[in-house]
Amino acid sequence: MIAIDLSFYDTLFYALGGAPSDARSLAFSGPSYPALVWAAFGLCLGSFANVLIHRLPREESIVRPRSRCPKCAAPIAFKDNIPVLSWLLLRGRCRNCREPISGRYPAVELLLGLLGAALAMRWSEPAWVGPALLASVGFVAIAFIDWDTLLIPDELSLGLVVLGLLASPLNPVLGYETEKLWLRPLTALVGALAGYAGCLLIAILGEKMFGKEAMGGGDLKLLAAVGAWSGALGALDCVMVASFIGAFYGMARILRRASLRYRGRLGPLLDRFARVSGRRRSPARWTLHLLRGRVHREPPIPFGPFLSAGALLNFFYLLPVGFPFTF
């Protein structure tokens, strides 16, 4: 048993959706049979998450047709659709066309499997682990879709809001003990409204200050979903953490681009060497394009993956309420 006591929570945090300090202690039990069962269930849901990630941006049905190879569109047999294991046995290739299949597919399945086991080890209530794992599928799918397309499907974000409100009586993250469970739905509703309103305020201020859109409409609905599952202060945690991670990622991207421009001064010399080599795909020509910074303009940084990560951390109380102001 691992226990970390986070004892700085007070009545205000409790009223706004934070659990009291005794409930906010972080405790994980060791691996157990239920954890293995939920891990297997998570692996299967990870396969479903891959379907969401692949089909929702293309506005395809998530029910039909059956799973197929993204390259040759050949239907995938049941024996080739076992999470993680089938990908390993096939060495990451389609059985029909032998084209490589992205390692993202088993990675998503493994991530959901680990989340299922972790939720079962963190919480002893099966009635709560199930909804939390379903929500994890939604947040993981949103993270990958937003990373790829800069879009967050309403089917996922609004679906998470509805599911969060329905599952709120079972949600220990919202706080309150047995005699006050009726306050959990109210806390979830306030959290969803506060998440949406707070994100809308940030978007308006950002547009006024910088003259361009600071946050998209999908981010507003996603933060409403975070609030429905984590309460108002949980939504605040996610915004803070997502902002910090996004800022560091943005700075890393800027430094990388600046580094490419600096090294681009070697371009003329490399250009001569590339012409001498005469091979279109020579290492010299490839290096030339890299060092001269011939890259497309980088798209805006998606905020959804970082918000989703914060929401998942809140399921385990890994974000102290009011972060970073409590340190």
pLDDT digits (tens, 9 = 90+) for 59-111: 888 888 888 887 888 888 888 889 999 999 988 888 888 889 899 999 999 99
- Same domain, residue pair 318 and 205: yes
- Same domain, residue pair 80 and 175: no
Cβ(71)–Cβ(99) below 8 Å: yes
Q: Which residues contact 10 (CB under 8 A, 6 or more apart)?
A: none
3-state secondary structure of 29: coil
101, part of any domain? yes
- Same domain, residue pair 220 and 317: yes
- Same domain, residue pair 174 and 248: yes
- The pTM score is 0.77
Domain boundary among 85, 109, 124: 124
pLDDT at res. 30? 59
Burial class (CB in 10 A: 0-12, 13-18, 19+), 191: buried
Kind and range of the H or E run holding 2: strand 2-4
Rama region for 67: left / alpha / beta (φ>0; ψ in -120 to 50; rest): beta
Cβ(230)–Cβ(165) below 8 Å: no
One-letter amino acid identity for 314? Answer: N
Domain boundary among 80, 107, 124: 124
287, part of any domain? no
- Same domain, residue pair 109 and 224: no
Domain total in the chain: 2
Q: Would you tell me how many other CB atoms lie within 10 Å of the CB of residue 126? A: 12
Residues 191, 69: Cα–Cα separation, whole Å: 41
What distances in angstroms separate CA 236 from CA 4, 126, 212, 240, one per listed residue?
Answer: 22, 27, 23, 6
Residues 261, 104: Cα–Cα separation, whole Å: 31
Q: Which of 150, 310, 164 is CA-nearest to residue 217?
A: 150
246, part of any domain? yes
- Same domain, residue pair 321 and 174: yes
Domain boundary among 104, 124, 144: 124
292, part of any domain? no
Domain range for 111 is 25-124
- Same domain, residue pair 192 and 305: yes
Specify the residue for token string 């939504």: 235
Kind and range of the H or E run holding 192: helix 183-210
234, part of any domain? yes
Q: Would you tell me how many other CB atoms lie within 10 Å of the CB of residue 84? A: 17
93, part of any domain? yes
Residues 268, 154: Cα–Cα separation, whole Å: 49
- Same domain, residue pair 167 and 104: no
In order, the DSSP letters of 50-85 are HHHHHHGGGT--SSSS--B-TTT-PBPPGGG-STTH
Instruction: Look up residue 33 and give its two tokens.
Output: 């049979």
- Same domain, residue pair 43 and 104: yes
- Same domain, residue pair 116 and 161: no
pLDDT at res. 28? 57
pLDDT at res. 264? 52
281, part of any domain? no
- Same domain, residue pair 98 and 167: no
- Same domain, residue pair 47 and 180: no
- pLDDT per residue as tens, the chain (327 positions): 444 333 333 333 443 444 444 444 455 555 678 889 999 999 999 999 999 999 999 988 888 888 888 788 888 888 888 999 999 998 888 888 888 989 999 999 999 999 999 999 988 778 899 999 999 999 999 999 999 999 999 999 999 999 999 999 998 888 776 667 788 899 999 999 999 998 888 888 877 777 766 677 888 999 999 999 999 888 888 888 888 887 788 787 777 766 555 555 555 554 554 454 444 444 444 444 444 444 445 567 788 898 999 899 888 866 554 444 443
320, part of any domain? yes
